[in-house]
Structures are given as structure tokens and as C-alpha cells.
Structure 1
């Protein structure tokens, strides 16, 4: 049997939640060299990579995907790009508008795409989002589901998603568009619902539920997402180039159920729940079809929610200084 090809993989946004876990996964489970590029905005935290920063196969570059000269230099030395850099704070996009989200999620993607027009690479994986679909019109949502983004953040993710697709159609670039459903796990910014619930519960504060809590999502542990991305890096290019693929579990769980499971997992110190105003642009339901990615690569989710939540709660319990530090930097309480 041939040995796997060793590649040099650029992971943009590498100090963020999904990409830092992906980098750790690639260093542990493959022979690839990894370049991490990150501008270190609010979501980029070098502590997310602290345990691997000295790894012999990891190079860290402090920079912005909107810096065209830097991007050209970095892209010239890699085989694969996983573009996971993004402004992803949904409530910030609602509160402040789309400006920063457009420049990173759309214009930053465009700069990377133009760089690989000049310097060809083996493949380019764009980490899009299930948020581009909006509320489910059918069950489960497959890759042909209409795009109906319901927040400025989601709209900019849809813009980058479709821009990448157009570069495959127009220029024949080796583009793969990856739409993960709702990720959770270690090192996730506490503005997201699962770590927000977990940190609130660990702090003995009530869990804040937007609206009545009926909204449901397909919850995907970040280690599953990392293994799916690895599968797409390793798959024969002719099977995946030009494809859009969901990364999902095929199961949805409501916000109210999540809150109950978090309270149960944390135990006696938790202080119940409190309902707050519904967030504008709320998506009612997300549940992803898993069939296409399984057909193309054989990948399916292997981490059930309760097992993944147990691991997640344990990580936040053991890393209180990390999440309190993050909350302190953004100037908010755990609620």
C-alpha cells in the first residue's frame, strides 16, 4: 500500500476554535506540515495553540487574509489551503452591521482565491457554514437546499461560499466547499451557546435562553469536524473538487434540551435557566443530511452529543482560567 502523501497545509484563522482543533488533529493524526495564519482578533487566541506551538511541523504566521501581499507569500509555499478564517460572532453582526464580516468573510476569501489563481495549489477547502441555509425547509437539509441566510454573518458566509464556487466554475480551481453544522467543544468562544451555557453553569449563574428555546440545531463535536476535513484533504481530488458537502450528524436537539443536558452534566452548582428576548434573525431548525460526505469519503460522525458534551464540560471545568480570560478580554460576564 502506498504511504499517504505528506502535504504542507495552510490553515487560516488558525488560532480560532475550529481551526485550532483542526491543527491539533492534523499534527496528531497525519504527517502533514501545517502553517497557521491568524490576525489574532477577538476569536483568535494563541492560548488555543499553546500546547502545539513548539511542534516541529507547525509554523505560525501572524497576519490577515485581507493582506494580499502577505497572502501571496504564504500561499506560494503550501499544497493545501483550509480557509477557516472568519468573523463569526452572530450577535456582533446583528448589533454592529456587516462591515467587518464582509471584509474578512468575502473579501478575504477573494484575496486567497486570487492568490491561488496566480500560484496553483492542490486543493482549497473553504469552511462555510450551515447558517447559509437559514431555517430548514425540509428534513434533513441536503446540499441542494436553498440558501436563505438570516443574519449579516450568515449572509457574508454565503457570499464567500458562492464566490469560491464561482472560481471553480470559471477558472477550474480545485475548490471544496465545506458546510459544518453547529460545532461545539473545547476552546470555543463563550459567545456561542454551548460554551455560554457551560460557563454560566460552572459559575453558578442561570443559563440564558433566547426566546422560548424551541429552536433546534444539528450539534457536531469539533473533533468530528476535524476528522471530516482530514477526510476531504485525503480524498482523491477528482471526487471532491467543485463539491459542496455538509458536515453534520443528522440529529437535531433543541436549545431547551441542550440547557437541560448542560445543567445535568455540571451538577449541583448550576442555577437553572432564565429566558431573554429572542435574537433577531433566529433560525428555527437545522438538521443536516450526512449522505453526500459519506458517499464521497466514507466519513460519518462518530461522537454522540451526550458523550461530546461530557468531554466539553470536563475541558471547561479544567480550564477556568482560559474562559474567564476570554470573557475578561471582551468585557462581558459569563452571561
Structure 2
């Protein structure tokens, strides 16, 4: 199988590429990969360093909105896995360029990777796949628009589109501006860990390994036109997450600084993942405390990767 992977130098995309080329994902053994990435925020060639010499990997430095480049890059590929995200307007424009090219080239599968952010906040319970979309930020609205565009290409043109929506991810190679690496790298640098607001925001945490496994199952066995949730293994308020990270460092709350949270954000996010469990047999395998400890160890061992990104 030949895969075109957009955003394949980003956090989740690069992990997926590395896993494919290491033959760690079901149904994708031996697959070849073309990565299309413009190397903006979160994208780094260093994230592909471990597989850079693979004969099964090609790299195209380009934006998904560049129609002629996408057209040329997609030729000869069996499937698209679309990770790229570049802002509200570009999300919709980029996915439409890809969908149109995929339609012309008659690709066998188009996997659109989205996020639970598109639903907004939920006080109790968890969002199911058919819940109404109610994004609260421009970024989430862009994602929601891209989701709808992808599903519309299935309904109108019969393009075999599958959409996945995930919980908040963590793991190695995540930009230090994100929650877990922000807290971890601050402590590694001898700075106070910055806790936003009262630390009451609740997220369901998903290791990037488990996320990529779910994406592979949806790509190879998901039903066209369907949405699959890939949810995390533990739900935590940010202050509880901070406490777990402090414990890994053997530090106390005197190493935490509370900072104002001026952003509009969802108080609680949670996804119901019963569908992917029933239909595709997916289960999260990375226990959270073990995954968190391994993630901290990775950042401790790789300061040359994350320190240049702090600015």
C-alpha cells in the first residue's frame, strides 16, 4: 500500500509515519509513505530522523492547499491520511484540495484525522459520534468545517472517507507549547510549572501510540462515511495531571506557578469510544502513569529537540 500522509512531520503524524515504517500497525505492514508537510508550527524534520533513510519514505515540503503539488504528490497512492492542520480557513481549503485530488485519482480510502474539540464542552457523560458539533474556538471551528467537507465528499461523490476524532494526546515529539510537555519542560529547565487558571479543566488523555493504532484500524477496516472516536484511558483535571508530573520529578507544589487563563476553552471534554471498540476491536494499551513516565524520560533525554522550540 502507498500512503500519502499530510502533516506527517507533526506530533501525531510523525508518530504514525514511524510506526508504519517500523511495521507496528495492523494492516499496514510493508506500506510506503509520502509525507506532505509545510513544516509550520509543530512540524519538524527531526521528528522523522529515525526513519529518514528508509527507502519506503518520501518527503514533499508543501502546503495541502497547493493544488498542483497535491495533484502530483497523490499520483500512484492508494490512500490518504490527513493530519495537517493550519488554522480555520486553511483547514477547510486544504481538505477540499486533497478530497478533490483523491476523487480524481480514485483513491481507495481517505482517512481524515480530527479531534473531540469540535463538540465543545460537556458537563457529564461523553459525546457520541452523532452528537451536534458546537466548537468554541476558531481552530475547532476550522476542524469541524473540514470534517463536514470530508463527509460531504462521501455523500456527494462516493469517496470512501472515514473520519476519526480523538481525545487530547500526549507522548514524545509533542511541541512544548502543549499541556504535558509545557509542564514537563518547565520543570526540566528549573522553572516553575505554569498551571492555567484554577487547574480545573478536565481532559481525557490518550497516548499517541494508542491513537495511531486506532487510526490504522479505521483506515484499513472502518466503514466509509463513518466517524470513529478514539478516546483516552484516563480523565484528569489539569491540577491532578500537574500533581502526577510533580510526583515523577519528586517535587512539591512550591514548583508550580498559577497563570491567568485568558483563552476561551472548554471546561471538560470527553468522547464515547464504544463504536470503535465494538466494530474494530480497538482498545487503549498504554497505561497512563507508565506512558506519562516514559514521556517524561523522553523529554529528559532529548533537550536538543525541544529547547529550540521554546521561543
Instruction: Within 5 Å, give how 1:1-335 maps onto structure 2.
Output: 7-28=1-22, 29=24, 30-87=29-86, 101-136=87-122, 138-235=124-221, 239-249=222-232, 251-268=234-251, 272-327=255-310, 331=311
CA distance in 2, matches of 1:178, 1:23: 17
CA shift for structure 1 position 51:
1.1
Q: Is the alpha carbon distance of 1:275 and 1:308 closer, same or farther for their aligned partners in structure 2, counting shifts above 3 Å?
A: same
Contact 1:290 1:300 in 2 (8 A): no
Q: What secondary structure does 1:128 align onto?
A: strand
CA distance in 2, matches of 1:126, 1:272: 40
Q: CA-to-partner distance for each residue in 1:255-277, whole Å, 9 max, x for gaps?
A: 00111111111234996211111
Q: CA-to-partner distance for each residue in 1:167-225, whole Å, 9 max, x for gaps?
A: 11111110001101100100000111000001011112111111111111010010111
Worse-superposed segment, 252-261 or 226-235: 226-235
Q: What secondary structure does 1:209 align onto?
A: strand
Q: What secondary structure does 1:179 align onto?
A: strand
TM-score (norm 2): 0.95
Contact 2:77 2:107 in 1 (8 A): yes
Q: Which stretches in structure 1 are left out of the alignment for 5+ residues?
A: 1-6, 88-100
TM-score (norm 1): 0.88
Contact 2:80 2:111 in 1 (8 A): yes
CA distance in 1, matches of 2:134, 2:255: 34
Runs of 4+ in 1 over 2 A off after TM superposition: 266-271
CA distance in 2, matches of 1:14, 1:251: 26
Cα RMSD over matched residues?
Answer: 1.5
